[in-house]
Chains A and B, each alone.
Chain A
Amino acid sequence: MNDHSPISTGCANSPVLKQRGQREVFCGLTGIIWLHRKMQDAFFLVVGSRTCAHLLQSAAGVMIFAEPRFGTAILEEKDLAGLADAHTELDREVARLLSRRPDIKQLFLVGSCPSEVIKLDLARAAERMTQEYAPNVRVLNFSGSGIETTFTQGEDACLASMVPVLPKTDERELLLVGALPDVVEDQAVSLLTEMGVGPIRTLPASRAADQYGIGENTVFALLQPFLGDTHAELERRGARHIPAPFPFGEQGTTAWLRAIALEFGVDEETFERVTAAPRARARKAIDAQAKELRGKSIFFFPDSQLEVPLARFLTTECGMTPLEIGTPYLHAGLVGPDLALIPEGPTISEGQDVDLQLDRAREARADITVCGLGLANPLEAEGLTTKWAIELVFTPVHFYEQAGDLAGLFSRPIRRREVLDL
């Protein structure tokens, strides 16, 4: 550390453009699509309207035909008439569901906009059902409504609802928080295990029976940036957060691992031994995929809260210049380490007034614009190159082995624009 120049805080102190108006985003119900894949004995029962069912159908695409473990109890006119009746109706639907699916160990009653506006008390319903179905099924409740949550916040609300019911322990354990594809989670666990870090737990676990405790000696690291409420709930239980940049790309993954290694007193030699080979692999893969990205500009519409860490990866590892980084919510406490690594310059925006933001995007004409599927084709038709954002949530993109794939997701649209001669 012989560099005496002032430490750059990057974008950490940049002013944030906050706008409100029409938001072109998904609601939290969408989180169910990937959460139910991860939690193999959980069922997600949305209490909502036909719109909610239609949204899940549109978001789940072809998955809907594979006997998924989620569904919507659609409110009908008679449910709106009186509250007592709605609870009886819900009890009947749940009883029918659980008798048909005895493999279900966790049932989530998921609140929606309609159920919240009519003030249907799903928390009470969950308590009542937990008693009724104990010990076989645990019933929890969270809100995935659009009036409360944006897209990935649904996962946050779900995980936060699980924290208070975890048993208490005094063990010193590491908890990895955030639902990742199994292949990615296994890589993370194996790297940490090789360094001698452990025992390692994950939230969510793949089965309800994989229970563990939580307490003052628990330390936790976040795998995803959108877990603000879960973070708060864990701290309420006495667990301590290990702040770090998020594990995207070679540098992000290394920084994330290093923060944990420091916490667990892993010596530098061990750290090098474990990470050297995968780091080299990741750098090589990124170099191969990021050729088209160097020197290019990028504009992020808000979607998943992954925007800041991804902008960090694309800036520091792929040589891109962000023009605007939009995010539905900015948890400065969680994405602070990533913000600090992004050189000053881009507009940081929180929330959205979509027409005004579209005006800015048209003005900026970035080389690549990251946005939702509702905007992507219209912007392509206007001559902009786009990358649709949802894929970044469904595709394995974290940690070393996926670093090249992650860069590839952004370079492919640019490459395609170059190859097409139409």
Chain B
Amino acid sequence: MKLTVWTYEGPTHVGAMRVATAMKGLHYVLHAPQGDTYADLLFTMIERRNHRPPVTYTTFQARDLGSDTAHLFKDACQDAYDRFQPEAIIVGASCTAELIQDDPAGLAETMGLNVPVIPLELPSYSRKENFGADETFYQIVKALAKPCERTSRISCNILGGTALGFRHRDDIQEITALLYELGIDVNVCAPLDATPSDIARMGAAHFNVLLYPETGEAAARWCERSFEQPYTKTVPMGVGATRDFIAEVCQICGIEPNVDESRLRLPWWSKSVDSTYLTGKRVFIFGDGTHVKAAARVAKDEMGFEVVGVGCYNREFARDIRALAKDIGVEALISDDYLEVEQTIEALQPEMILGTQMERHIGKRLGIPCAVISAPVHVQDFPARYSPVMGFEGANVLFDTWIHPLVMGLEEHLLHMFRDDFEFHDEAGPSHHDGHAPKPIDRPAEGPVAAAVQEGTGVAVWLADAERELKKIPFFVRGKSKRNTEKYALDQGMTEISVDTLYEAKAHYAR
């Protein structure tokens, strides 16, 4: 047992629901108790879908436990078939049904339904949501995709897009347009918006574009083995990655890269002088493996940030993230415990966090700016406007999204100049925080009174002058200055921190 309040990922059957809801003409019959329908509202509310997810729950209750539940399952399956007339059905069990002895696969098989019935084995006590999605999509492809003749024009499938995916809708549109420019057709995009009959003709594509390894890699590998379709290994998020992706695709297809970069603005925005202040901003990156890997490259090479920590919550990508961390020379954090993430962030004191909805709240609590780069996300990250994170427009979106929470160059300059001004004083906080409204400045009482700041034992006491000086340091670096100064004082065996100590420490730690 493990005590949990927040989970980065839902159970495996929610992953299966993400695939079922992404597709059309497919129905999911889920052996589950009353209450598991809560997951419907993730799709109708967070993603704002205008239809119910295509899922029928058997809704067994305590009084049904015994011989009855198998019967319930068959009835639910038959009803779903009669009512929705799907092209194919997937069947499976939720965590509770996994514990009772019914066998959805076997039961569905004996019913002689006129459509393919695909059984799912999703171990809910050892695996999680992303595995559920990946495995479900793989089983669907394995069951339905048939070898077929290649299309005459060069074409590919786009794999991995699901319901409840972070920006999947717009990423796919962006990459489809990019491929079109290269002269490549999209044969099937799956699971998102595909029907079972679309899946059947996946073999006609020349290769596969794997946009989301978390939810599409098993299927991509199967297609590689069964249809000799190579799949792309680069996820086109960021300028460099998109260019690499184009090169990879062109190499697979044997064509010349010919892409119009005129609407790509990130490089110039990042080179312009107002971005100089971004240099060396210390960022911590956390999320799913794929987005973290991509974000780290953008942060380092395209924004000029210093990446001070990386991590992911999905163990399936632990190896990739460890390798990435080694490259950058930082520690990798592989954990699905948000308290551990919070501790790491507190210890690193980054100037910015790139993370999930959870990191957004951690950032809020610690007063650190944060931008969201990965699921899980809340309703505001399923925006109405076009906002991919992949391809060239995606790069533009990344620049804007990551920069907005930060204080930009001119603003930072003003903060310095008008430090005590009522609008610009340093307790005003970054503009996306609730505490944005200017607060009155607390001026310490006059006179050489020793300050009362003393945290724990073995920490030097801040003298009043030094504390006043500390307050003049912009709030977003003050935490670090305070920590560094105290560490410096401790190392030097000092019991008091004066203004001199503060500046000696500053010189000591100067980059």
**A interface residues (Cβ-Cβ under 8 A, vs B):** 21-30, 45, 47, 49-51, 53-55, 57-59, 64-65, 68, 70-77, 79-80, 86, 89-90, 92-93, 96-97, 113-114, 116-118, 145-148, 150, 355, 372-378, 380-381
Which chain B positions have C-beta within 8 A of A86? 1
Residue of B nearest to A88 (CB): B1
Q: Does any Cβ of A come within 8 Å of B57's Cβ? A: yes
Residue of B nearest to A25 (CB): B34
Q: Does any Cβ of A come within 8 Å of B384's Cβ? A: no
Residue of A nearest to B41 (CB): A373
What's the nearest-Cβ distance from chain A to residue B126, in Å? 5
Which chain B positions have C-beta within 8 A of A58? 38-39, 41-42
CA distance A175 to B343 in the complex (A): 46
- Tell me whether A27 and B35 are in contact in the complex, defined as CB-CB below 8 angstroms, given that A22-B56, A54-B7, A375-B52 are known contacts: yes
CA distance A21 to B34 in the complex (A): 10
Which chain B positions have C-beta within 8 A of A29? 35
- Tell me whether A22 and B58 are in contact in the complex, defined as CB-CB below 8 angstroms, given that A57-B6, A145-B33 are known contacts: yes
Let me know if B3 and A73 touch, CB within 8 A.
Answer: yes
What's the nearest-Cβ distance from chain A to residue B96, in Å? 4
Let me know if B37 and A23 touch, CB within 8 A.
Answer: yes
State which residues 109-134 of B face A: CB under 8 Å.
123-126, 128
From A23, A50, A147, contact of B124 by CB (8 A) = A50
CA distance A198 to B96 in the complex (A): 47
Which chain A positions have C-beta within 8 A of B95? 49-51, 113-114
What's the nearest-Cβ distance from chain A to residue B71, in Å? 12
- Tell me whether A377 and B14 are in contact in the complex, defined as CB-CB below 8 angstroms, given that A53-B7, A75-B1, A146-B35 are known contacts: no
- Please list the 8 inter-chain residue pairs (A to B) with the smallest Cβ-Cβ separation, ordered nearest first: A27-B35, A146-B35, A374-B40, A381-B50, A113-B96, A49-B95, A146-B33, A146-B34
Let me know if A355 and B41 touch, CB within 8 A.
Answer: no
Interface bits B217-231 vs A (CB < 8 Å: 1, else 0): 000000000000000
Which chain B positions have C-beta within 8 A of A64? 5-6
Let me know if B49 and A59 touch, CB within 8 A.
Answer: no
Query: Which of A54, A59, A117, A380 is the most central at the interface, judged by chain B CB atoms within 10 Å of its CB?
Result: A54
Let me know if B4 and A74 touch, CB within 8 A.
Answer: yes
Which chain B positions have C-beta within 8 A of A377? 44-45, 48-50
What's the nearest-Cβ distance from chain B to residue A187, in Å? 30
CA distance A116 to B125 in the complex (A): 16
What's the nearest-Cβ distance from chain A to residue B362, in Å? 9
Q: Does any Cβ of A come within 8 Å of B10's Cβ? A: yes
Which chain A positions have C-beta within 8 A of B52? 374-375, 378
Interface bits B122-165 vs A (CB < 8 Å: 1, else 0): 01111010000000000000000000000000000000000000
Which chain A positions have C-beta within 8 A of B468? none
CA distance A389 to B35 in the complex (A): 15
CA distance A250 to B254 in the complex (A): 77
CA distance A73 to B76 in the complex (A): 31
CA distance A216 to B77 in the complex (A): 52
The contact sample of 27 A-B pairs, CB cut-off 8 A, is A24-B37, A25-B34, A25-B35, A45-B3, A49-B95, A49-B96, A50-B4, A51-B10, A51-B13, A51-B95, A54-B11, A54-B14, A55-B35, A57-B7, A58-B39, A58-B41, A64-B6, A76-B1, A79-B1, A113-B95, A147-B60, A150-B34, A373-B41, A373-B44, A374-B38, A374-B41, A378-B50
Q: Does any Cβ of A come within 8 Å of B420's Cβ? A: no
- Tell me whether A114 and B50 are in contact in the complex, defined as CB-CB below 8 angstroms, given that A24-B37, A54-B14 are known contacts: no
Q: Does any Cβ of A come within 8 Å of B83's Cβ? A: yes
CA distance A388 to B38 in the complex (A): 14
What would 18 more interface pairs be, CB under 8 Å, given A23-B59, A64-B6, A76-B2? Answer: A22-B76, A55-B35, A72-B5, A75-B1, A77-B126, A79-B1, A113-B35, A113-B96, A114-B95, A117-B65, A118-B99, A146-B33, A147-B34, A147-B96, A355-B83, A377-B48, A381-B50, A381-B51
Q: Does any Cβ of A come within 8 Å of B417's Cβ? A: no
Query: Which of A22, A58, A65, A148 is the most central at the interface, judged by chain B CB atoms within 10 Å of its CB?
Result: A22
What's the nearest-Cβ distance from chain A to residue B353, in Å? 14
- Tell me whether A72 and B34 are in contact in the complex, defined as CB-CB below 8 angstroms, given that A51-B11, A117-B65 are known contacts: no
Which chain B positions have C-beta within 8 A of A355? 79, 83
- Tell me whether A65 and B7 are in contact in the complex, defined as CB-CB below 8 angstroms, given that A26-B38, A148-B62 are known contacts: no
CA distance A114 to B65 in the complex (A): 12
Which chain A positions have C-beta within 8 A of B35? 25-29, 55, 113, 145-146, 150
CA distance A61 to B447 in the complex (A): 49
- Tell me whether A117 and B100 are in contact in the complex, defined as CB-CB below 8 angstroms, given that A49-B95, A53-B4 are known contacts: yes
